[in-house]
Structures are given as C-alpha cells and as structure tokens.
C-alpha cells in the first residue's frame, strides 16, 4: 500500500479567506447600492404609518466611512389636505460619531436641517391612509378625552341658541304650528277622563249604598212588633228583625270598604295637580328650546366661542408630550442589552470604572435648522437649533431643547418663536413650551357654521403667545391672543338678525383672548376670557332682552290658554271626588247611627218580651197545680 503524503499548506488558510472575502464584497455592494434605497423605503413606510398620510423622501445617502446620513427632500403630506405638505424639508444632514458607532451607539455630533417649508404644494396628491376607528391609537384616545370634556361641558352652546333665536321665524307662527302637541295638555285630558269614569262609577255605587229601604223596613217591623199582641208571632218577628239588623251591619262594613277605596283614589287624584304643574314646566322649557330662547347668561360665552380651539392646542401639546415621553424616556432603566453579557459559568465580579466617554443609544447633540425663503415660495426664513435629543437624558444630564425663530411670509406667519424644552434628565421631569407668533392672518374662524347660517370672523390679524408646562401628567397652559382689524362674517336667514349682530360686532374692533388650563388632563380646569364674549354678551343682551321677554310671554300665554282651562276642570273634578267621599262617609255615619238605634230598640223589645213570657209561664204552671 502506498501512502500518498498530502501536500502541506502554508500557515494561512486561504480556502477560508476567499469565501469570507466574497461575502465581504457582497456585503459591501449591498451597502453601497441597495442599503440607502431600503432605508429610504423603510423610512417612508414608517413615516406614512405614523403620519397617516404619505411621506416621501427623494434620497437617503448613508456613508459608513464618513459616518454621515443625508436625507434630501422630505415631504410629509397633510392628512387633511393631501394636495399640501404639513412640512417639507429640503435637506437634512447628520454626522455620526465613529467612536460611538464602534460602541453600537448613534451619536449625531452635528446636524443641519435646511429649507423648511410649511403647507407647501405637492406635485401630486399624497395618499391618505384610511382611518382606523376600531382601534384608535393611544395619542388619539388622549386627544379625544380632552375634546369630549369640553364638548360635554359646552354642548348647549349659548351662542348657537342666540343665533338660532335671531334667525328663527316668528314665535307666533311657530306657536300656531305646535298647538295641541303639549304633553301637559294631553295628560290633563287623560286625567279628566280618568276622573270622569271613576266619578260615574262612584255615583252609581253611592246611589246603591244610599238606598235606606232596609232601615225603613226594620223601623216598620219594630213599630208593628210593638203593636202585636200574639206573643209567638212577636218572637218570630224579633228573630226577623235581628236578621235584618245583621244585614245592616254588613252594609255598614261594605260602605266602610268602599269609603277606603274611594279615599285612596281621591288621594291619587289629589296628586294630579302637582304632576300637571311639573309637566307644564317641562312643556315651557321644551317650547323655549324649540324657539331657541336663550337664557341671557353670557358668563361662559367666551368659553363657548374659543374652548374647542383652545382644547385643540392642549390636545396637541399632550399628544407631542406623550410621543416625547415614549421616545425620550424620563427614566432610563438599565437594559440587559447594555450590560456585558453575564457569564454562563460563575458570575464572578464585574468591576465598573468611571465613564468618561459613555454614550446613550441615540443622541443628537446639535442640529442647526436654517432656511432662507424666496418670494412666493413656501420656504420660511427659519433659524434655530435642536440640541441634546437622546434616548437616555439622565446619562447626558442635559435637557433636550428645540429653539426656532422665523418667518413664513407666504402663509402670513411672521415673528415665530418656538422654544420646546424636555427636562427629562432631572429627578422630577417636566416639559415646557413657549410659542409666540407676532403676526398671523386668521382666515374664516366661524363660531356658528351651519348650512343656512354662519357667524364668525372672516379675516383678522392676530398675535399669539402660548406657554405650557406639563409635569406628572398635570398641565399648566396659558394662551394670550389678540386679533385686530377683524372682518366679521354674519349671514343669517333673517335680515333683522343679521342687522342686530352686525351692529353689535361693528363696535368690537379688537378681540382679545386669554385662556388658562390647569390640572390633570382627566379633570382640566379651563378658564377663558375674551372681550368678544363680553361685548357680544352685552350687545345681545340689550338687543334681545325685549324680544326674548316677548317670546317668553307668548309661550306663557300659550300654556295658560292650553293648560289653565283643563287644569281648572281637573281641580274641580278632584274636588268632586272629594265630595263623593264625603257623601259616602255620611252614608256610613247614617247606617251606623241607625244600626245602633235599631239594635237598642231590638234589645228593649227582646228584654220586655222575655219577662212577659216568664210571667205567663208561671201562671200556666200554677193553674196545672204544680
């Protein structure tokens, strides 16, 4: 047998190195050619899901060698108007720190965000995702909670009532239409019918009961008993009278039962007027509502005008606060992944040395935001910075701050200053926001917006300052706004209503709004003051006091006309029932009186008859010699 000696290879295992090199080359090609596209697609998909409408990115350029990320033209479609973008950013550059990357941490040392456009037009309509009402997101639920609080509080909108009243057809016409539909009237008629039927029944019953033939018969029998000479006949007559008296006794009992029954019914009837009173009140209120006659209490008019808008700001603040909490946690728990993997054998002891260059998982150290607008474009003149956004604020021990100033002339937004700080690095974390807009144009702020009636501000110049702070799920938010040169939009059905409202509004050249919300989100204490509410209230009060009083009088007259008559009749019927009860009681008394009298007579007769019979018996025995 010949043992072939294998040719000895060199110290390096080339047959293993070549596949590794091929794999490395494939990886390199993937990251050079495809990775950017895949990141772009993934970012677009995730962005679309979060935004609820299409998010587009023109290009993503990731360089591992430079440690840089560049995003070109990010467009975020406005879900409410898919022809426009909520925001469009021309370019974003991020420079990552290699030192951190080697530790699998993403630290952006410097970033820039350029050419920010708000409400820019899209080249094509953005796809809007269908809403998913079955499972609202957590943030949507939080928003809904706040909005529902205000809606439930101000559902009976004073202003809308006033407008409806101003705009309504005449009360007289409407009264004509609704005659005969009053609940109280219908009930009274039912009650009268009820009483009438019972009255007839009781009349018959009383008639039956008040038949005193039996008493008279007994009286006659007693009289004839007195005149009777035949003793045996007398005895049988006494028996007969006793039987009759028993019948009288039964009759007394019957009368008593009927009396009790009638008493109960009378009691029920006695409650009828109270019930009628309540129904009349209800009818009056429903008529007032039907004619939209408002209560002239304008204390909360400002709340009615602006509460829903203010709450939208609150809801947005809460939404972003919750999002910030989710992605920039207040408390960083040490995750298992960040520890060096524990030994499977003995635990040993892991020594910790001072951290001099530790990084959180993600840390955007500094991002400068700048854009220079051009005339007619949606690009704003924006300057600002975003600093220290991180997944572990406690580690870097700095607050995340977004500080922006700028102007967006195309959309009439001037002197914008926004400062948003997340103090999640301290023991008792909080978030605060300061937002100021020196000038903005208000378009179509409608307080009443219905098909045939509109009331609001069509155009005004505004300034606004919002300050908010949220800590331990408790918010403290204030809003101060002024609207000058307002042009009001009043379009009601009736000319008189339009004239009244226009007259009042022309005397309000400057609108101020001061709003505060304090407390936990679940139980907010909202306070809103606006001179629009006060002035509108005063004006409307002076204009409407007389018509409202007149309308109320007319309704009262209608109630009186429709209800008072039947009510009176009802009361008389109830009195009649009481009279029936009295007569029944009289009958009972009469029977009792007669019964006693008859029983006394009978006793007397029975007693005398016995003695006589005894005497006659003795005589008879003596005659027989016994």
Residues in contact with other proteins by CB under 8 A are 1, 4-6, 8-13, 16-17, 20, 99-100, 102-103, 340-341, 343-358
| Nearest of 362, 364, 314, 306 to residue 338 by alpha carbon | 362
By CB atoms closer than 10 A (0-12, 13-18, 19+), residue 382 is buried
Quick one: 352 or 451, whose CB is closer to other proteins? 352
Quick one: 25 or 446, whose CB is closer to other proteins? 25
Structure tokens at 477: 């938010």
Cβ at position 338, least distance to other proteins in Å: 10
522 secondary structure, DSSP code: G
Quick one: 232 or 341, whose CB is closer to other proteins? 341
Quick one: 97 or 421, whose CB is closer to other proteins? 97
Cβ at position 399, least distance to other proteins in Å: 24
Q: What is the DSSP string of 532-596?
A: HHHHHHHHHHHHHHHHHHHHHHHHHHHHIIIIIHHHHHHHHHHHHHHHHHHHHHHHHHHHHHHHH
Place of tokens 């080697």: 102
Query: 483-487: long-range contacts at Cβ-Cβ below 8 A with a sequence spacing of 24 or more?
Result: 483/442, 483/457, 483/510, 483/511, 483/512, 483/513, 484/460, 484/509, 484/510, 484/511, 485/459, 485/460, 485/461, 485/509, 486/457, 486/459, 486/460, 486/510, 486/511, 487/457, 487/458, 487/459, 487/460
- CA dihedral 168→174→175→180, nearest 10 degrees, is -140
| Nearest of 479, 582, 590, 621 to residue 202 by alpha carbon | 582
Quick one: 101 or 142, whose CB is closer to other proteins? 101
Cβ at position 3, least distance to other proteins in Å: 8
Provide the 3-class DSSP secondary structure of residue 597: helix
Please say whether the dihedral angle defined by the alpha carbons of residues 592, 593, 597 and 603, taken in this order, is positive or negative.
positive
Quick one: 213 or 356, whose CB is closer to other proteins? 356
Place of tokens 């500080």: 403
Quick one: 97 or 558, whose CB is closer to other proteins? 97
Rounded-to-integer distance, Cα 599 and Cα 587, Å: 18
Phi, psi (degrees; rounded to nearest 5) at 12? -100, 140
Quick one: 17 or 83, whose CB is closer to other proteins? 17
Q: How many CB atoms lie within 10 A of CB 533?
A: 23
Cβ at position 16, least distance to other proteins in Å: 6
Quick one: 338 or 432, whose CB is closer to other proteins? 338
Quick one: 5 or 622, whose CB is closer to other proteins? 5
What does the angle CA 23 – CA 24 – CA 25 come to, to the nearest 5 degrees?
90
Phi, psi (degrees; rounded to nearest 5) at 439? -155, 130
Residue 61 CB partners (closer than 8 Å, separation 6+)? 36, 68, 69, 70, 71, 72
Cβ at position 120, least distance to other proteins in Å: 42
Structure tokens at 404: 């922006």
Please say whether the dihedral angle defined by the alpha carbons of residues 236, 237, 238 and 243, taken in this order, is positive or negative.
positive
Cα distances (Å, whole numbers) of residue 137 to 140, 384, 472 = 5, 31, 21
Quick one: 1 or 232, whose CB is closer to other proteins? 1
Rounded-to-integer distance, Cα 487 and Cα 443, Å: 10
| Nearest of 296, 172, 161, 278 to residue 555 by alpha carbon | 172
Phi, psi (degrees; rounded to nearest 5) at 378? -90, 5
Quick one: 353 or 622, whose CB is closer to other proteins? 353
Cβ at position 391, least distance to other proteins in Å: 19
* Pairing of β 106-118 and β 362-371: parallel
Quick one: 20 or 446, whose CB is closer to other proteins? 20
Contact 519, 290 (CB under 8 A): no
Q: What is the DSSP string of 56-101?
A: EEEEEEEETTTTEEEEEEEEEEETTEEEEEEEEEEEEEEEE-HHHH
Quick one: 17 or 446, whose CB is closer to other proteins? 17
* Pairing of β 400-408 and β 381-390: antiparallel
């Amino acid at each position: 047998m010949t043992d072939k000696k294998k040719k000895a290879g060199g110290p390096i295992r080339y047959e293993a190195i070549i596949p590794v090199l091929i794999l490395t080359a494939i990886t390199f090609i993937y990251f050079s050619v495809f990775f950017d596209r895949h990141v772009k697609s993934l970012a677009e998909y995730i962005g679309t899901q979060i935004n609820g409408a299409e998010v587009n990115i023109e290009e993503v350029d990731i360089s591992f060698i430079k440690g840089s990320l560049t995003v070109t033209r990010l467009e975020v479609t406005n879900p409410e108007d898919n022809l426009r973008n909520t925001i469009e950013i021309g370019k974003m550059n991020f420079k990552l720190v290699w030192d951190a990357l080697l530790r699998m941490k993403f630290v952006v040392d410097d970033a820039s965000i350029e050419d920010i456009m708000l409400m820019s037009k899209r080249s094509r309509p953005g796809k809007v995702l269908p809403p998913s009402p079955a499972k609202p997101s957590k943030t949507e639920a939080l928003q809904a909670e706040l909005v529902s609080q205000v809606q439930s509080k101000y559902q009976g909108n004073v202003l809308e009532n006033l407008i409806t009243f101003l705009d309504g057809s005449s009360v007289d016409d409407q009264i004509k239409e609704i005659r005969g539909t009053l609940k109280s009237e219908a009930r009274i008629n039912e009650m009268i019918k009820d009483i009438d039927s019972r009255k007839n029944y009781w009349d018959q019953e009383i008639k039956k009961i008040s038949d005193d033939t039996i008493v008279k018969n007994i009286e006659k029998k007693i009289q004839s008993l007195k005149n009777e000479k035949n003793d045996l006949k007398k005895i049988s007559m006494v028996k007969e009278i006793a039987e009759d008296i028993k019948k009288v006794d039964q009759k007394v009992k019957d009368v008593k039962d009927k009396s009790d029954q009638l008493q109960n019914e009378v009691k029920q009837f006695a409650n009828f007027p109270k019930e009628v009173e309540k129904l009349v009140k209800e009818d009056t209120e429903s008529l007032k509502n039907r004619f939209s006659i408002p209560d002239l209490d304008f204390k909360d008019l400002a709340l009615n005008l602006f509460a829903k808008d203010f709450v939208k700001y609150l809801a947005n603040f809460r939404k972003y606060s919750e999002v910030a909490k989710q992605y920039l946690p207040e408390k960083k728990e040490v995750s298992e992944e960040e520890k060096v993997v524990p030994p499977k054998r003995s635990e040993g002891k892991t020594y910790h040395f001072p951290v001099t260059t530790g990084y959180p998982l993600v840390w955007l150290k500094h991002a400068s935001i700048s854009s220079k607008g051009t005339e007619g474009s949606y690009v704003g003149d924006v300057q600002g910075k975003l600093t220290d956004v991180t997944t572990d604020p406690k580690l870097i021990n700095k607050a995340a701050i977004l500080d922006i100033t700028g102007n967006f002339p195309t959309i009439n937004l001037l002197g914008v200053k926004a400062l948003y700080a997340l103090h999640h690095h301290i023991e008792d974390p909080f978030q605060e926001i300061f937002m100021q807009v020196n000038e903005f144009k208000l378009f179509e702020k409608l307080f009443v917006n219905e098909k045939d009636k509109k009331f609001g501000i069509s155009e005004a110049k505004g300034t606004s300052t919002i300050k908010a702070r949220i800590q331990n799920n408790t918010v403290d938010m204030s809003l101060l706004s002024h609207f000058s040169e307002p042009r009001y939009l009043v379009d009601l059905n009736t000319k008189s209503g339009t004239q009244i409202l226009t007259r009042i509004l022309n005397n309000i050249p400057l609108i101020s709004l001061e709003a505060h919300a304090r407390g936990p989100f679940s139980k907010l204490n909202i306070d809103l003051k606006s001179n629009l509410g006060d002035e509108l209230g005063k004006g409307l009060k002076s204009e409407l006091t007389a018509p409202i009083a007149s309308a109320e009088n007319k309704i009262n007259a209608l109630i009186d006309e429709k209800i008072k008559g039947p009510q009176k009749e009802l009361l008389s019927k109830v009195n009649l029932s009481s009279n029936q009860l009295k007569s029944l009681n009289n009958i009972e008394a009469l029977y009792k009186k007669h019964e006693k009298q008859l029983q006394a007579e009978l006793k007397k007769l029975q007693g005398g008859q016995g003695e006589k019979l005894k005497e006659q018996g003795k005589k008879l025995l003596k005659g027989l010699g016994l």
